[in-house]
């Protein structure tokens, strides 16, 4: 998904560099694509929050009842949480970049 977002942002930047204004339908298409990326960002945010809660809950459970199986499960949650944070960070920055590009396209 990040590669798609990056490719789409690059195509918009090329369009801005050419300086050709977009038609109303093309601007609506850009807004639709931004909406898709926003939805993807929201889904990944919810999954990231779930894994963060599971990780914290697992650590608290391990403190209350030190079982190594719980610790192993919590390490697994933490291992999955780190890539989710990285991926969400890329999506968030990419969508913010698309907002900026959309504003610049409207000004053409």
Residue pLDDT, tens place only, 13-70: 999 999 888 899 999 999 999 999 999 999 999 999 999 999 999 999 999 999 999 9
The Cα 59–Cα 72 span in angstroms is: 10
Residue 8 lies in a domain: no
- Backbone φ and ψ for 86, nearest 5 degrees, come out as -60, -45
Instruction: Say how many domains are in the chain.
Output: 1
Residue 9 lies in a domain: no
Token couple for 78: 């933490």
Residue 15 lies in a domain: no
Domain range holding 83?
24-107
| CA 95 to each of CA 6, 45, 55, 74: distance values in angstroms, whole numbers, following the listed order | 10, 13, 27, 31
Q: What is the mean pLDDT of residues 80-105?
A: 94
Residue pLDDT, tens place only, 41-57? 999 999 999 999 999 99
Give pTM, 2 decimals: 0.84
Residue 93 lies in a domain: yes
Evaluate whether 51 touches 77 at the Cβ level (below 8 Å): yes
């Amino acid at each position: 998904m990040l590669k798609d977002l990056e490719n789409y942002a690059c195509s918009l930047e090329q369009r801005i560099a050419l300086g050709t204004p977009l038609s109303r339908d093309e601007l609506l298409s850009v807004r639709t694509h931004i909406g898709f990326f926003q939805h993807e960002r929201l889904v990944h945010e919810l999954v990231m929050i779930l894994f963060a809660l599971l990780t914290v809950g697992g650590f608290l459970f391990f403190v209350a009842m030190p079982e190594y199986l719980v610790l192993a499960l919590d390490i697994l949650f933490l291992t999955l949480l780190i890539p989710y944070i990285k991926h969400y960070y890329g999506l968030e920055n990419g969508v913010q970049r698309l907002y900026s590009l959309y504003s610049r396209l409207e000004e053409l």
